[in-house]
Structure 1
Amino acid sequence: MNTSPAPLIPSWTVGGVTVHRVDEVPLPPATGPWLLPDATPEVVTAQDWLHPHFAGRDGILHIDSHSFAFVVDGLRVLVDTGIGNGKERANPAWHNLRTDFLERLTAAGFPPDSVDLVILTHLHADHVGWNTRQVNGEWVPTFPNARYLTTRAERDFWATYDMDEARRQMFADSVIPVEQAGLLHAVDVPSNGAEIAPGVRLIPTPGHTPGHVAVELTSQGETAVISGDCVHHPVQLAHPAIGACVDIDPQQSEATRHKLLGSLADTDTLLLGTHFAPPTAGRVVTHGDAYRLRLVPAS
């Protein structure tokens, strides 16, 4: 008999909607210097508010992989699908994982067959991995009853991109099987965003990838924004010019961060960081000539 306790599923309330964080895995300390090379220990330790949750006293960034799940108007929604299990990946931190992500997702009340909508902020390996799982040696959609959404700009970009072998592998095991099953839908997102479900809007936040979107959730006068990778880590609130080594268009990525953070600053909107370590969420407040995060712990 399995007597291990059910995993704790952190959540936040946005109006009448409960947003659950479904944890996959903390990423290793080497992730920060690789991903955000300009976030040097000196830069990080100068922002004392990052300690202890988002960085150590040594300036090493804390970075996580997780998804968010919620129900709106009866629609069961999952935002991004993490790295996935058993995937061959060039990044050793992502290679051949064996996590309990699906058990956590089920514990949150979202067994895979129950998910109606999967929103992919962009098509990178650590955001599409659980799109599929292996069954009898084949990669099949993990969420067989769901519509998987990406933006048309995103899918069209990668369709003509000269991919390296690692990215081809990722598309082969995590994107193409969903397309072949007829479950991947590309949507047009104008500059003012697109409502895809009641109270759920895709906000164009390009730069990291050309078709990247953040996800805005509004209910009963309250609002939250799920960042995707337009902001990887709270240090970028203090220094929006710090970009990721994998940004397709670094200048556009920086401009997007300035615009998004400026729109959130000193409002009641909750920012949920797709890679933010626990406590993951907070409100953007003006801090000097930039910003910081005022924490909103999960329930």
Structure 2
Amino acid sequence: MQKMILGNVEISRVVEFHGAFGATEVLFPSVPGELWHRHESWLAPDFLNAETGEWQSSVQTWVLRSAGRTVLVDTGLGEDKASELGLSDEDGGDFLEHLAAIGVRPDEVDLVINTHLHDDHVGWNTRFVDGEWVPTFPNAQYLISRADFDFWHPANSHAPRFADTGAKFNGSVLPVHQAGQAVLWEGDSYRIDEDLVLELAPGHTPGSAVLRLESGTERALFVGDLIHTPLQIFEPDHDICVSEDPAMAARSRRRVLEQAAATNSLVVPAHLGGAGGAEVTRANGTFSIKRWASLSSS
């Protein structure tokens, strides 16, 4: 079990997948190979396969216990959906067992936060039961940004930069909305409780969001896909190839890193293996890692 306490909030980590997710030169086309080599000594093995040059990624869910509620931040690959992302059908299959191991049954989840609506963040929103996709967490509200919901909804003739994800929307997002469990939040922020606030950070997708935790003197920012590799902390202008608006994503990333450095907040991305997150510092306009989170390597 990987767990930490920040103020009044207990945080657990459920890792669904960790491994190679693709070649760095394909996924991060603006990053020169020299930059990966320069930082190879600490990027490998958790964030980079030094032998193959592949990006090492985790797909994971952060489980928060806050204000008496159980909150899931993103829901990963999903049941029978991993193959659509080029992974084995076995990847992600024991997600509910991992949740059970930390004492969480599906009916005990109160809130699901989708930081954005890419496939690997919404997969376990639903399960396939009796020939249809139904909400995995029957008693939960699902917090989804209106901007992403409208953009990805096939009925709205969206035009994503890459593959159409309409089929995944229909299987992983639309059923929770039809069940009356979706809360489509709008504006720049949405307060969840006294310790948790969602804040818009667009670019990767139109409605990408950051979950800000402030409890007592403790601070954390669950940044979703704003950061895919810790190399982006040092070089925030570089982006992954699947962002809808890379320039806007870079502006959001820099703004959030500035907020993290100014408030001594732990930065917790969706896909980092190893310690899972880091505190950052800023000097002369440059960000660096001050210390890693207190979680063990996945």
| TM-score using structure 1 length | 0.89
Local SS of the residue matching 2:224: coil
Q: Deviations over 1:176-230 (max 9, x none)?
A: 111111111101132xx32122211011110001111010112122111111011
Q: Structure 1 residue 42 and structure 2 residue 38: aligned?
A: no
Gaps of 5+ in 2: none
Change (3 A) 1:186 1:260: same
Q: Which residue of 1 aligns with 2:18?
A: 26
Q: Which residue of 1 aligns with 2:292?
A: 295
Q: Structure 1 residue 225 and structure 2 residue 221: aligned?
A: yes
- In the aligned structure 2, how far is the partner of 1:88 from the partner of 1:69? 21
Q: Give the C-alpha shift of residue 151 in structure 1.
A: 1.2
Q: Give the C-alpha shift of residue 12 in structure 1.
A: 1.9
- In the aligned structure 1, how far is the partner of 2:284 from the partner of 2:89? 40
Indicate the RMSD between aligned Cα atoms, in angstroms.
2.2
The one-letter code sitting in structure 2 at the alignment partner of 1:236 is: Q
The one-letter code sitting in structure 1 at the alignment partner of 2:216 is: Q
Local SS of the residue matching 1:133: strand
Local SS of the residue matching 1:83: coil
Change (3 A) 1:254 1:95: farther
Change (3 A) 1:202 1:230: same
Q: 2:127 aligns with which of 117, 124, 133?
A: 133
| TM-score using structure 2 length | 0.89
Q: 2:168 aligns with which of 170, 191, 194?
A: 170
Matches within 5 A, 1:197-208: 197-208=193-204
Matches within 5 A, 1:24-103: 24-30=16-22, 32-47=24-39, 48-58=41-51, 59-87=53-81, 89-93=83-87, 97-103=91-97
Q: Deviations over 1:65-124 (max 9, x none)?
A: 001011111111001000112027543127674521111112122211100000110111
- In the aligned structure 1, how far is the partner of 2:176 from the partner of 2:34? 43
- In the aligned structure 2, how far is the partner of 1:118 from the partner of 1:33? 33
Matches within 5 A, 1:7-26: 9-26=1-18
8 Å Cα contact 1:72-1:198 kept in structure 2: no
Change (3 A) 1:33 1:25: farther
Q: Which residue of 2 aligns with 1:251?
A: 247
- In the aligned structure 2, how far is the partner of 1:102 from the partner of 1:33? 34
- In the aligned structure 2, how far is the partner of 1:134 from the partner of 1:260? 37
Identical columns (%): 36
The one-letter code sitting in structure 2 at the alignment partner of 1:42 is: E
Local SS of the residue matching 2:20: coil
The one-letter code sitting in structure 2 at the alignment partner of 1:173 is: G
Larger strand share, 1 or 2: 2
Change (3 A) 1:209 1:130: same
Gaps of 5+ in 1: 1-8
The count of aligned residue pairs is 289
Change (3 A) 1:146 1:86: same
